[in-house]
Amino acid sequence: TFFTMNVYDRVISNQAYTTLWALASGVMVAMLFEYLSRNLRSWLLDNAGKKADLLLGSTLFRQAMMSRLENRPQSAGAFANTIREFESVRDFATSATLATITDLPFVLMFVWVIHAIAGPLFWVPLACIPILVIVGALAQIPLSRYVKEHLREGSIKQGILVETLESAEAIKALRMESQVQTRYERASALTARTSMKSRNITAMVNNFTALLQSMCTVAMVVWGVYLIGDGTLTQGALIGAVILAGRTIAPAASITALAVRYQQAKTALTSLNRVMNTPTDRDPERNYLRKPTTTGALSAENLAFRYDPMSPDSVREVSMTLNPGERVAVLGRIGSGKSTLLKVLAGLYLPREGSVKLDGIEIQQIEPADVRRHVLYVGQDTRLFFGTLRENLKAGNPHIDDDSMMRIADAFGVHQMASRHPRGYDMPIGEGGNGLSGGQRQAVALARAVIANPAVMLLDEPTSAMDTATETMVMQALSRLSTRQTMVFVTHKLQLLDFVNRVMIMDGGVRVADGPKEAVLQALKEGKIQGVRRV
């Protein structure tokens, strides 16, 4: 600004080339310093963004993993979309536009300089600044509503996408492609509509800002011409004042440019706060008991649990004791609460009433990592992880040696499966176990459970997808390799009863029978027990 003003007012009229080069050298040094300063600011912002990714991203992922299962959203896609919104908060906090806000303290200084070199012309940018601020503030009202709608509809869209990818086989088998496509297109249309509304508001604000900046320039030039005619202003001062006016209005204009990002970050932060406030398996404010060893005695007293506050109890008034090394089969009709009971016993869900104890100590008082180490749940919906067969087998015990791993894998028929593949134990496993049959996935899951070496194994329909020969081999391997472990089987198969010494029957979430296998089965055949139609 001062360079331009002095060139017009002094250099051109006096042909002072020496002064011109001196001024040019000085302004080049100043411009180089500004260039270095901007690069430094960009580096600091990028570095802050990287640290935010590492620290906050890791914290969010840990919170998502440790959040209580009963408090999680029903849609995994919507939950993932909420966590992904962390990027909106990070981008807002480290955006270059936000960095221009640091120029706000210099606005009044620029106005004072304009007043010093151009007199009353300072009133023009001074009048434009509050107008821009007011317009930006008014734009927040509709933007807030549209951004919230966009994020909510985006979560629904993401949920449909994730569910479709995970259920591709079922969708194709049921010929649901057109239905799912319609749902996705409807969700996409709603998302695009709210996104367009936000963009329209933003475009209107940006266009108004550009218009006001242009009008500011025109007003200053027109007024400046009259001042030049009166002899109270020079041409150089007018040009310098116009340049400074642009620097004065730019920070205020950047506030309006931040409108959408601010609302996105604000809404995302609200959602992330809900995630961070979700109860977790481990309360950081509590001192848990460490339990490196256990006898495998597990007991429950007056257990009651429901998945939803509005639904009836899935398990109620259940009391039981599992002695070390005991083998128990849990029988019952579909929906009788068998699987839920095992999940509560494993500590995956907190009971609404009652307690679960390991060696006489409530599991809520024990370090959650120790509970997971000693009590292992294998669900009927067998899940394997994307990676290799070796990684899946060692998931629960990554430090086991390969010889022990292969010995256990051979007992469950997994070694034969690996031997048929050219990459052996490095054979790739698809997400969820894609590429393997249901029986193969169950064999890998059971081998993985034995490798983990827990004291208590809670197995939910562990052989439901296996043929009779494979089932017999697997159950014999379990009996041979897990002689000291306490085991509970949820099953509908008669063959598995040969490997247990105790039977418990569930009906309507209540334990209706429990005792030695022969006595319970005899009472069931005689019709003295209700809850299982046929075993």
Confidence tier at 6 by pLDDT (50, 70, 90): low
Task: Give Rg (Cα) of the chain.
Answer: 35
Domain chopping of the chain, boundaries: 2-276, 298-525
Model confidence band, residue 391 (pLDDT cutoffs 50, 70, 90): very high
Which range, 50-59, 203-212, 243-252, is most confident?
203-212
What is the predicted pLDDT for the residue at 97?
A: 55
* Tally of CB atoms within 10 A around 260: 20
- Can you tell me the distance from the alpha carbon of 151 to that of 144, in angstroms, rounded to the nearest whole number? 11
Residue 382 confidence (pLDDT): 85
Q: Phi-psi region for residue 254, left (φ > 0), alpha (ψ -120 to 50) or beta?
A: alpha
CATH fold label, 2-276: ABC transporter transmembrane region fold (1.20.1560)
- 353-364 pLDDT, tens digit per residue, is 999 999 999 999
Distance CA 166, CA 100 (A): 44
How many whole angstroms separate alpha carbon 343 and alpha carbon 349? 6
Mean of the pLDDT values across residues 84-96?
Answer: 68
Predicted confidence (pLDDT) per residue in 482-529, tens digit:
888 999 999 988 888 989 999 999 998 999 999 999 999 888 888 777
Comparing CA positions, the residue from 220, 308, 299, 261 lying closest to residue 514 is 299
Helix (H, G, I), strand (E, B) or coil at 6: helix
Tokens of 520: 């319970």
Q: Predicted confidence band at 281 (pLDDT cuts at 50, 70, 90)?
A: confident
Predicted pLDDT of residue 341: 95
Query: Per-residue confidence at 395, pLDDT binned at 50, 70, 90?
Result: very high
Q: What is the pLDDT of residue 424?
A: 92
Residue 305 has a pLDDT of 93
Q: How confident is the model at residue 257 (pLDDT cuts 50, 70, 90)?
A: low
Superfamily for the 298-525 domain: P-loop containing nucleotide triphosphate hydrolases (3.40.50.300)
pLDDT class of 7 with cuts at 50, 70, 90: low
What does the pLDDT read at residue 534?
44
Task: Look at residue 392 and tell me whether its pLDDT is greater than 90.
Answer: yes
Number of neighbours of residue 320 by Cβ within 10 angstroms: 19
Q: H or E element: which one contains 323?
A: none
Taking only the tens place, the pLDDT of each residue in 309-346 is: 888 889 999 999 999 999 999 998 888 999 999 999 99
| Percent of the chain residues topping a pLDDT of 90 | 36
Using CA atoms, how far apart are residues 439 and 18, in angstroms rounded to an integer? Answer: 90
CB 318 within 8 A of CB 479: no
Contact 26, 35 (CB under 8 A): no
Whole-number pLDDT of residue 482? 87
**HSE (side-chain half, CA atoms, 13 Å) at 464:** 13
Tell me the C-alpha distance between 224 and 121, whole Å: 7
pLDDT band (50, 70, 90) for residue 535: very low
- Asked if residue 259 has pLDDT above 70, the reply is no
Is the pLDDT at 275 greater than 90? The verdict is no
Residue range 161-196, pLDDT digits in tens = 888 887 887 888 888 889 999 999 999 999 899 889
> Considering the chain, what is the average pLDDT of its residues?
85
Tokens encoding 339: 């699987």
Work out the average pLDDT over 86-100. 64
pLDDT at 513: 92
